[in-house]
Amino acid sequence: MTDMFAGLPELEPGSVWLVGAGPGDPGLLTLHAANALRQADVIVHDALVNGDCLKLAKASAALEFAGKRGGKPSPKQRDISLRLVELAREGKRVLRLKGGDPFVFGRGGEEALTLVEHRIPFRIVPGITAGIGGLAYAGIPVTHREVNHAVTFLTGHDSSGVVPDRINWEGIAKGSPVIVMYMAMKHIGQISANLMDAGRSPDEPVAFVCNAATPEQVVLETTLSSAEADVTASGLEPPAIVVVGEVVRLRASLDWLGALDGRALAPDPFSSRILRNPA
């Protein structure tokens, strides 16, 4: 059998690879990510990395938890970045394993800049971000040519834990038919109000995808005006991806995981209705 790792790069001692593990399912790891796992001496991993991914590590690898979760005690970002430098200077093969993609709301840029500052060699290995892969596991495409020709990705809170004040809500509400939000569940009431104040319909479909691409995945479908009340009543907790837009209706036809459990999929998710593209 051909070695699938033949010809792939070596994780050299004294270097750091910043690797995206994808949104949950270990099958979504890239070949580069699996190659890094089998070579690393130390794996510094996030809270959102599926534990099954770590089973691909070599037996002698040390695992260090560096998870950051909102509202819970978490290591400071600067300390995590400097820990990567420290390990590399010890001559270790260092894998920084992050959920999703390291450069999509994953602070990978900050960590890479610290490595540059301290002259540590590094490699970036992209991963499947939850805002695309997680929604796909819920049967929701981020683009569909009958619905949208644009999509906006944004974070629901900034470094201080509040809704970012630099987001142009009016511009996004009027210009982006589909809005995908990371870390937005806690502030969905304010975010929904911002979007409706800027002209989005209260009846616009919204979906929360919790624990995306894992066996614990749960999807809540609601509307912009009911989102806060419905998610509170559901008892669902982060991590979650939130999507606003007509693409949510496609889940009635594209919920492939539901179909495996017997859900009958609809051939016409829009019931032949004329769609209004806000862009």
92 part of the active site: no
In angstroms, the CA 142 to CA 247 distance is: 7
230 part of the active site: no
Cβ-Cβ contacts under 8 Å for 233 (sequence gap 6 or more):
none
Of the residues 183, 185, 186, 255, only one is catalytic, namely 183
Amino acid identity of residue 31, one-letter, is L
72 part of the active site: no
The number of residues making up the chain comes to 279
Helix (H, G, I), strand (E, B) or coil at 28: helix
Q: Which residues of 178-195 are buried (b: 16+ CB within 10 A; e: fewer)?
A: bbbbbbbbbbbeebbebb
For residue 202, the tally of other CB atoms under 10 A from its CB is 12
Distance (Å) of CA 145 to CA 75, 149, 221, 275: 42, 6, 21, 11
Q: Which residues does the annotation mark as catalytic?
A: 46, 68, 183
